[in-house]
Amino acid sequence: MHKSDKNEFMYLFIALRPLVREFDLCRPVVVANGAHFGGAYKGTYVSVVQSTECIYSVYEGGRRYIVCLERKNCNCGRFQLEKIPCANAFAVLKKKNIIDIHPHYSDYYKSAALANTYEVPMVPMLDKEDWSAPEFVLEEIVLSPRYKRMDGRLRKIRKKNPDEKTSTKTNHCGRCGQEGHNRRTCSFERRYC
């Protein structure tokens, strides 16, 4: 088959088909991409080893994490704290080929919990003049909190989360091209002929 405008897609599909078939022979890799971390996380290789029926060891970047899906805990602490499966728990779920991850989330995050929040009837409040407040509450004057603006120029760069990478960008001199200083503090002298 020769490549032409009409059969360009078919030609591409037939040409790449052997390459796609080769991936079937590769060993499957469990990878947690960390898209839910919120930081600039590039992803890493994660190895999952089953210890017992419900306990798994997850090896990531030289560290070992113990995950138990039945008790919904991991020794990294995120699974217990946020009540959402952490990256290590996601790696275990991927290893076990579990597609439905919703049972591993807390009921707090499910839509039924949100519906139950608003199930109780909301009674509208009376007008402000009709309120019956105790006398000591009415006499108390609430002032705005004291706030002293800090001296100097405002911060231009936002404060980063602890899980975000700090920039390791160094200054480069525009005159000599070396790192660690700029044109203003450069000690390099140009010689003119």
pLDDT at residue 68, rounded to an integer: 92
Measured between alpha carbons, how far is 43 from 46 in angstroms, rounded to an integer?
9
Measured between alpha carbons, how far is 32 from 91 in angstroms, rounded to an integer?
6
Residues 43, 31: contact at Cβ < 8 Å? yes
Token digits of residue 17: 């088909």
Dump pLDDT digits (tens) for 1-27. Answer: 566 666 666 665 566 666 666 655 554
* Residue ranges of the chain whose pLDDT lies below 70: 1-44, 190-193
Measured between alpha carbons, how far is 55 from 5 in angstroms, rounded to an integer?
56
pLDDT at residue 67, rounded to an integer: 93
CB atoms within 10 A of CB 127: 6
**CA-to-CA separations, 27 to 23, 30, 71, 88, in angstroms, rounded:** 9, 10, 30, 20
Q: Which amino acid would we find at residue 64?
A: R
pLDDT at residue 13, rounded to an integer: 59
Measured between alpha carbons, how far is 100 from 93 in angstroms, rounded to an integer?
9
Dump pLDDT digits (tens) for 156-182. Answer: 777 888 777 777 778 888 888 888 888
Write a three-state SS string for 68-118. Answer: ECCCCEECCCHHHHHCCCCHHHHHHHHHCCCCCCHHHCCHHHCHHHHHHHC
pLDDT at residue 65, rounded to an integer: 92
Domain residue ranges of the chain, discontinuous segments joined by +: 29-105
pLDDT at residue 159, rounded to an integer: 80
pLDDT at residue 11, rounded to an integer: 60
